[in-house]
Amino acid sequence: MDGILNNDIKFLSGVGGQRAELLGKELGIRTLGDLLYYFPFRYIDRTRIYRIAEIRDDSLSYIQLKARITGFSHVGTGRKARFSAFVSDGSGTAELVWFQGIKWIEKRLEVGREYIIFGRPAFFRNELSLVHPEVELLSTAAARMQTGVQGVYYTTEKLSTAQLGTKGIYKLVCNLWQAVEKHIRETLPETVLREHDLMPLRDALYNIHFPANQQLLRRAEFRLKFEELLGIQLGILSRRTDRVGRNDGFLFSRVGERFNEFYSSRLPFPLTGAQKRVIREIRNDTVTGHQMNRLLQGDVGSGKTLVALMCMLLAVDNGFQACMMAPTEILARQHYATLTRMLGDMEVRVGILTGSAKSRERRLTLEALEAGEIDLLVGTHALIEDRVRFSNLGLVVIDEQHRFGVEQRARLWTKNERPPHVLVMTATPIPRTLAMTLYGDLDVSVIDELPPGRKPVKTQHYYDSHRLNVWAFMKREIAKGRQVYVVYPLIKESEKMDYKDLYDGYESITRDFPLPEYLTVAVHGKMSPEDKEATMQLFKQGTAHIMVATSVIEVGVDVPNATVMVIESAERFGLSQLHQLRGRVGRGGEQSYCILMSGEKLSREARARLDAMCETNDGFRLAELDLKLRGSGDINGTQQSGLAFELKIANLGKDGQIIEMARRTAQRILDADPGLTQPQNRGLDELKKRYSPSHEIDFSMIS
Ligand code: ADP
Ligand code: MG
């Protein structure tokens, strides 16, 4: 896309400086091309004409009628004026109502003539009425393009006041089309168009804005989705090819004494088959000479930490340092404690670095690290600060990857001249389509087996009104010697309110679970790290019976004796978060429970989420469902998904088949022409660049 499409939007007729600025700020539309690719977010079918008798309720958002005016009425004056036109189409009657612009509309309507009427249906005293509908003489309406399927553009309040409501944008797009129509060049090679029976780009862009009917609209959508996903896949796959082609990965060729000693005499329990397989996969990666980029997925409790430790030992055995980055201070400390405990007196030097380290302590750690006197460094994102220098970093393990931004991840591997191997571990199962898109550059390992003896967690949903039953249940479990988590949602925008929920909750729990019989502790993000740690310890040691917490702090707490997870306002959590939280219990041999509390009023989606949680423990099924429920908005949002660009039309949740098609096609094209230099692939090279923005830092971007 070049030439005229890169022109500033302000030069388009109907725009100008002020509106251009608004379009840029509100919608990110800065060039003609941006507007051309600003697609309607839904469509109204104006080919369909309803009969008045068919309309029984206000469930349709828009209807179109063909009816004759039978009379008028005026009620009130001035600001209270109301003008009605009564219409009939033979099947029934309806009332059209105006509160404003009455003089103007009155002049345009005539009793006895037939009109096309378009608007939102409402019922008033059992009579169908349309307030401020569009009304047009049948004879003129028929001739207009708008009787087709009409696009509705997303817009904002600010734009609407600058005459850029959905209709205003539509008009701009009409102007745009005249200006650019002749400049649209096909991006896809003829062979690809033919193979998948795709609409040419020009026709697709026309029909996405001005579809003549549903069928053409669907073909246009399909073509544009395919193009977008193909662009993404071309970017991902060629980056992958680059990485594999570079051959500068560290070699972990020896399986040395530390790994062997740990394996033969320190393992607290036999590895599961899945753990063994994953360690083998990682080991194979590190002897190829290519840099490893592996995503390790394993449901909560599947034993990823142990896998990470063994891989880090491999690095150490080969003379390298390794580091492990956790998303929170508590988790980092917990990992540090786990690793040092498991290693015992083995000759491995483990260090920890977090944001709260005292300056002297930190200086010593940094010096030791640079001198190569630390083998394994555990930490939070403090690890990515510039002053942290390794002497010989060979492996980076990132735990609970979804908490780290892409940028944060990228900074870790710029710590070396040669890229270390990277293992990203996540407990959030990533559906195939997402994995192919977001992590398409990574190899994926899956731990699909839980350690033996685990009993599946039982999940139940209770309304707030049944709280007493839940508390009675908690008391029974505590009487058996077990411990309980109570978690409150924490959503950034309303932090104050959330903390209030937490404090109120804490208070009412301490009232009903009084000392000295019960000890309840609370942990939240505003506490100092020392306080947090001390409080956590009370719970870990079993001194505290109940831990009240917000959701964000604790992704990986490991307290096998905790058997009950109560999630307050569960309807406010996403599915994957609920599943994560549930994974905090069920870690020991005892039967564990997850209790979802909610108000009585639930949206359909929230109910579906809670039902799904009660029905299954399978993280993958929940992730797939989550993707479907959340649809495009959330998933495609850069924040949620880690995508550095926004999808304009494809939906990662729903377009799985097109993603697979695009991936196969991209692979085949790159196999034949890796640099996309052949003339028929010129458009593809542009596409690839469009979907590989420079700010997307990838694992392989190190040089
Ligand atoms: P996650 O994958 O969620 O990070 P962890 O690594 O924290 O899981 O492991 C969860 C629990 O399972 C820990 O208490 C750990 O010691 C235990 N565990 C790990 N591997 C095994 C195994 N092979 N057999 C039995 N228990 C295991
Ligand atoms: Mg973990």
**pLDDT, tens digit, 9 for 90 and up, residues 270-283:** 999 999 999 999 99
Token pair 């309406």 is at which residue? Answer: 141
Of the ranges 219-228, 238-247, 586-595, the best mean pLDDT one? 219-228
Residues 572 and 490: their CA atoms lie apart, in Å, by: 9
Mean pLDDT value across the chain: 86
Residue-level pLDDT at 588: 83
Q: Which of 378, 558, 576, 579, when mutated, tests ligand 1's pocket best, judged by the most ligand atoms within 8 Å of its CB?
A: 558
**Structure letter (DSSP) for residue 264:** I
433 touches ligand 1 (CB under 6 Å): no
Residue-level pLDDT at 41: 86
Model confidence band, residue 627 (pLDDT cutoffs 50, 70, 90): confident
Ligand at minimal distance from the CA of 399 is 2
Query: What CATH topology corresponds to 458-616?
Result: Rossmann fold (3.40.50)
- Enclosing H/E stretch for 487: strand 483-488
Which residue, by CA, sits nearest to atom 24 of ligand 1?
A: 451
Which residue, by CA, sits nearest to atom 4 of ligand 1?
A: 304
Ligand 2 center to 427 CA (angstroms): 7
**Higher confidence at residue 357 or residue 113?**
113
- What is the number of residues in the chain? 703
Residues 83 and 101: their CA atoms lie apart, in Å, by: 10
pLDDT at 559 over 50: yes
334 touches ligand 1 (CB under 6 Å): no
Ligand at minimal distance from the CA of 449 is 1
Model confidence band, residue 553 (pLDDT cutoffs 50, 70, 90): low
Ligand 2 center to 304 CA (angstroms): 6
Residue-level pLDDT at 412: 61
pLDDT at 143 over 90: no
Ligand at minimal distance from the CA of 305 is 1
Ligand 1 center to 334 CA (angstroms): 13
Q: For helices 575-582 and 619-636, what crossing angle results, to 10°?
A: 140
Average pLDDT of the segment spanning 368-389: 92
Nearest to 463 by CA among 579, 571, 547: 571
Architecture of the domain delimited by 257-447:
3-Layer(aba) Sandwich (3.40)
Q: Across the beta sheet with 483-488, what order do the strands follow?
A: 458-463, 593-598, 562-567, 483-488, 546-550, 520-523
| Minimum-distance ligand 1 atom for the alpha carbon of 306 | 6
Nearest 5°: the CA angle 142, 145, 148 is 85
Tell me yes or no: is domain 1-46+147-183 CATH 3.30.530: no
Average pLDDT of the segment spanning 379-399: 90
303 touches ligand 1 (CB under 6 Å): yes
574's CB contacts (< 8 A; 6+ apart) are: 609, 626, 630
| Minimum-distance ligand 1 atom for the alpha carbon of 304 | 2
Model confidence band, residue 696 (pLDDT cutoffs 50, 70, 90): very low
Two tokens at 296? 């390790």
Which residue, by CA, sits nearest to atom 23 of ligand 1?
A: 271
Model confidence band, residue 371 (pLDDT cutoffs 50, 70, 90): very high
- The dotted CATH code for 61-135 is 2.40.50.140
Alpha carbon separation from 476 to 454, 473, 513, 563 (Å, rounded): 21, 5, 12, 11
Ligand at minimal distance from the CA of 587 is 1
**Higher confidence at residue 608 or residue 533?**
608
Ligand 2 center to 694 CA (angstroms): 32
**Burial (CB count <10 Å: 0-12, 13-18, 19+), residue 467:** middle
pLDDT digits (tens, 9 = 90+) for 425-444: 987 766 766 777 766 677 88
Average pLDDT of the segment spanning 392-405: 78
Which residue, by CA, sits nearest to atom 26 of ligand 1?
A: 451
pLDDT at 698 over 80: no
Two tokens at 528? 């100092």
Ligand 1 center to 588 CA (angstroms): 10
pLDDT at 498 over 80: no
Residue-level pLDDT at 638: 34
pLDDT at 631 over 60: no
579 touches ligand 1 (CB under 6 Å): no
pLDDT at 16 over 70: yes
Residue pair 85/109 in contact (Cβ under 8 Å)? The answer is: yes
Residue-level pLDDT at 701: 24
Ligand 1 center to 612 CA (angstroms): 25
Q: Hey, is 460 helix, strand or coil?
A: strand
| Minimum-distance ligand 1 atom for the alpha carbon of 298 | 2
Residue-level pLDDT at 479: 97
**Higher confidence at residue 427 or residue 224?**
224
Two tokens at 122? 């409402």
272 touches ligand 1 (CB under 6 Å): yes
Residue-level pLDDT at 493: 46
Nearest to 309 by CA among 267, 281, 274, 277: 267
| Minimum-distance ligand 1 atom for the alpha carbon of 275 | 23
pLDDT at 325 over 50: yes
586 touches ligand 1 (CB under 6 Å): no
574 touches ligand 1 (CB under 6 Å): no
Ligand at minimal distance from the CA of 275 is 1
- DSSP for 151-219, written as a single string: EE----HHHHHTT-SHHHHHHHHHHHHHHHGGG----S-HHHHHHTTPPPHHHHHHHHHS-SSHHHHHH
Q: Which of 271, 305, 446, when mutated, tests ligand 1's pocket best, judged by the most ligand atoms within 8 Å of its CB?
A: 305
Residue pair 200/239 in contact (Cβ under 8 Å)? The answer is: no
Q: How many percent of the chain have pLDDT more than 90?
A: 53
Residue-level pLDDT at 497: 65
Average pLDDT of the segment spanning 311-334: 92
- Enclosing H/E stretch for 294: strand 293-298
pLDDT digits (tens, 9 = 90+) for 70-105: 999 999 888 889 999 999 999 999 999 999 889 888
pLDDT digits (tens, 9 = 90+) for 146-198: 557 888 898 888 998 899 988 899 999 999 999 999 999 999 999 999 999 99
Model confidence band, residue 360 (pLDDT cutoffs 50, 70, 90): very high
| Minimum-distance ligand 1 atom for the alpha carbon of 453 | 25
Ligand 1 center to 433 CA (angstroms): 28
| Minimum-distance ligand 1 atom for the alpha carbon of 305 | 6
Ligand 1 center to 266 CA (angstroms): 15
**Higher confidence at residue 403 or residue 565?**
565
Residue-level pLDDT at 630: 67
Listed by start position, the domains of the chain span 1-46+147-183, 61-135, 257-447, 458-616
Residue-level pLDDT at 45: 79
The dihedrals phi and psi of 261, each to the nearest 5 degrees, come to: -65, -45
Residue-level pLDDT at 419: 83
**Higher confidence at residue 594 or residue 63?**
594
Q: Which of 33-37, 131-135, 211-215, 487-491 has the lowest mean pLDDT?
A: 487-491
Ligand 2 center to 335 CA (angstroms): 8
Residue-level pLDDT at 442: 75
